[in-house]
A and B are shown apart, each in its own frame.
Chain A
Amino acid sequence: MKAPALRLPAVIADRASVAFLASLAVVALVAPLLNLAVPESSPLHLSSYAVGLIGKYLSYALLALAVDFIWGYCGILSLGHAAFFALGGYAMGMYLMRQIGTRGVYGHPVLPDFMVFLNWEELPWFWYGFDQFWFALVMVALAPGALAFVFGWLAFRSRVTGVYLSIITQALTYALMLAFFRNDMGFGGNNGFTDFKDLLGFDLQSDATRSALLAATAVALGGAYWTCRAVLASRAGRVLRAIRDAESRTRFLGYRVQDYKLWVFVLSAVLAGVAGALYVPQVGIINPSEFEPINSIEVVIWVAVGGRGTLWGAAAGAVLVNYAKTWFTGALPDVWLYALGAMFVGVTLFLPRGLAGLLPVRSRDA
């Protein structure tokens, strides 16, 4: 027998991983195809609106994956991940704002509209470099990563765990929301950033760009999945699960628990930042409401609904819950929050392993 031509890396060769990555690939290929290649008259045509929506869901899925990685495998329940998501989004937004150039309302070659409006004379120092795409990409990872590092270093070193940790992550995102609401912070105050024109020279309104963004989000989600799996499959990943199940016991084996928590927290925050960066060009706006504490709580609900501690379940949960949200806010807007609450309670009571628990595929290491 010949060895199979295509050998997947062992960490993503299990059935669940293959199914998950294959569905991602299908979405990334088929959605653009149905949008770009199928004529609008055909019933198979996928609207540009739907493409944007799917792209948005996928960026939420990446955020959910980031939360599940630390919650499901290391027991860190972050209720502040929307903050990292928003920071990544703001970093991308700053790049998109500077790409507008003279096409803004005031036509200023350097300053974004809101700065002209505030009678600012020159660009604040922290806006330097954001005209470069590579710089923005670095900041997409660095801003949330650095914040997570400082926050995690302080919190995990003082052994803040459980509900206390969750509460201070809420405080973190709330504090950032208040800060970003202020006009003099230099991030556009409560209006945030919008009216983006193009990314790397590609028109954000064009169907091709939207399809490309959707595909990029799918690729990022797949890559993040692979990265998390690689960590979890290593001995370090087993230490993480040991920490989740018996934190103090792990210390007596000689592991510096705070370091483990810190590194996965930082990685998770970076993934959340990347999700935010992919989200912003697809929805066309970023403002301080992204920091709202309720947003972070919603992410945890997506993960719980999909199935904590599976990664793919969290991603699927994000898509399903947000699809439901889209439907409800269209048909029965007043009911949505109750429906979300009911979903959470229902899953907690009847499906402790989430929807993923209903499927026969089970990753061994959950």
Chain B
Amino acid sequence: MNANLQPGGAVAAEPRAGAPRRGAAPGGRDPWREKREAAAARQPSVLTGDVLYLQQVTVSFDGFKALDDLTLHVDPGELLCVIGPNGAGKTTMMDVVTGKTRPDAGRVFFGNMTNLLTMSEPEIAQAGIGRKFQKPTVFDFLTVFENLELALAGEKSFWRTFFARLTPRDRERIDEVLETTGLAAKRDTPAGTLAHGQKQWLEIGMLLMQEPKVLLVDEPVAGMTPQETERTGELLLSLAGRHSVVVVEHDMEFVRSIARRVAVLHEGRVLAEGGMDAVQSDPRVIEVYLGA
């Protein structure tokens, strides 16, 4: 067995002290429900098939199967949450989609036509798949503004960027994202000096700049204060509908508040899938998380 597998913890996690309990508000009122429904309402009414489709994907590292015959689909405009214990293969799944890791078997399609397995990382990024990494990686020596500038959607060849000038439209866009991410005051600070939570936000901001069709967001609220977590949830929900968003998170409360559909990964495959309540009462899921 894999030493990284540490069942337990996540599902049973207590809400943080002082954090407003999201998801199930007292009196049965769920403030997040409206937001989730609003996001769902923005989804295209005519479903044009999956935006992302992983079919029987297997990835092994020295014989150990990080992904084992994984099949997963993402609908247009949906917000899908992927949960699962440590080492379940969540990050590896994102690695496969973004071209970082090549699977040993299986197929990965973007839209109906695009085979992601034949594309390089920059090609996949340019095709419209953006990613936020589990460990926030921003460019420390560049300012917050410059980090966002580099993420700006558009042509990215050497000569284009050599002659590129920021258009007023670009500046507006960057300022917009600075506002959205609450980093306006940090505009000209080197990203390396930001606090952990702010780096997370900057990385989300960089994701927004790319204007991707699919956002893969790996553990966005790790290390965030309850307030920041809440704002992140709102932001992700506001993106769903226009974009497809895949969120990997351990914070169950957070997942409960934003997710309509949840996929539980375990040992490289989907263990259960569906609404949060259904998934959480699934005996197999309970077994995996509580080790019962």
Chain A interface (Cβ within 8 Å of chain B)? 231, 234-236, 238-239, 241-242, 245-246, 248-257, 259-260, 263, 365-366
Contacts and interface: CB of A to CB of B under 8 A. Distances in A.
A239 B100 contact: no
Q: Please classify the interface of chain A as helix (H, G, I), strand (E, B), loop, or mixed, using the class held by over half of its residues.
A: helix
10 contacts: A236-B161, A236-B164, A245-B140, A246-B137, A246-B139, A249-B139, A250-B150, A251-B120, A252-B122, A253-B151
B141 A252 contact: no
A253 B159 CA distance: 17
Interface residues on B, range: 20 to 34
A252 B158 contact: no
Per CB-CB distance, the 7 closest pairs between chain A and chain B, nearest first, are: A254-B125, A251-B121, A236-B162, A236-B161, A235-B161, A254-B126, A235-B164
A241 B161 contact: no
A322 to B, nearest CB: 30
Contact of A239 (B125, B161, B210): B161
Interface string B127-164: 00011010001011110001001110000111101111
B205 to A, nearest CB: 12
B122 A235 contact: no
B133 A241 contact: no
Interface string B41-72: 00000000000000000000000000000000
B136 to A, nearest CB: 10
B213 to A, nearest CB: 13
Contacts of A234: 161-164
B98 interface: yes
B206 interface: yes
A254 B162 contact: no
Contact of B125 (A231, A235, A252, A259): A252
Contacts of B146: 238
B150 to A, nearest CB: 6
A109 B200 CA distance: 72
Contacts of B156: 239, 253-256
Contacts of A238: 139, 142, 146, 149-150
A235 B149 contact: yes
Contact of A245 (B130, B141, B206): B141
Given A246-B139, A253-B206, A235 B158 contact: no
B170 to A, nearest CB: 10
A242 B206 CA distance: 13
A145 to B, nearest CB: 15
A254 B150 CA distance: 10
Contacts of A257: 122
Nearest to B155: A254
A365 B139 CA distance: 12
Nearest to A262: B158
Contacts of A263: 158
A251 B131 CA distance: 11
A235 B170 CA distance: 13
Nearest to A257: B122
Contacts of B150: 235, 238-239, 242, 250, 253, 255
Contacts of B120: 251, 256
Nearest to A309: B141
Given A239-B150, A245-B139, A259-B158, A251 B122 contact: yes
Given A234-B161, A245-B141, A253 B125 contact: yes
Contacts of B159: 236
Contacts of B133: 249, 252
A250 B150 CA distance: 9
A67 to B, nearest CB: 20
A329 B248 CA distance: 64
A248 B206 contact: no
Given A245-B139, A254-B210, A365-B141, 17 more contacts: A235-B164, A236-B162, A239-B158, A242-B142, A245-B140, A248-B121, A251-B121, A251-B122, A252-B125, A253-B122, A253-B210, A254-B122, A254-B126, A255-B122, A256-B120, A257-B122, A259-B157
A366 B141 CA distance: 8
B228 to A, nearest CB: 22
B282 to A, nearest CB: 34
A235 B137 contact: no
Interface string B12-34: 00000000000000000000000
B220 to A, nearest CB: 16
Contacts of A259: 157-158
Contacts of B162: 231, 234-236
Contacts of A366: 141
A256 B125 CA distance: 10
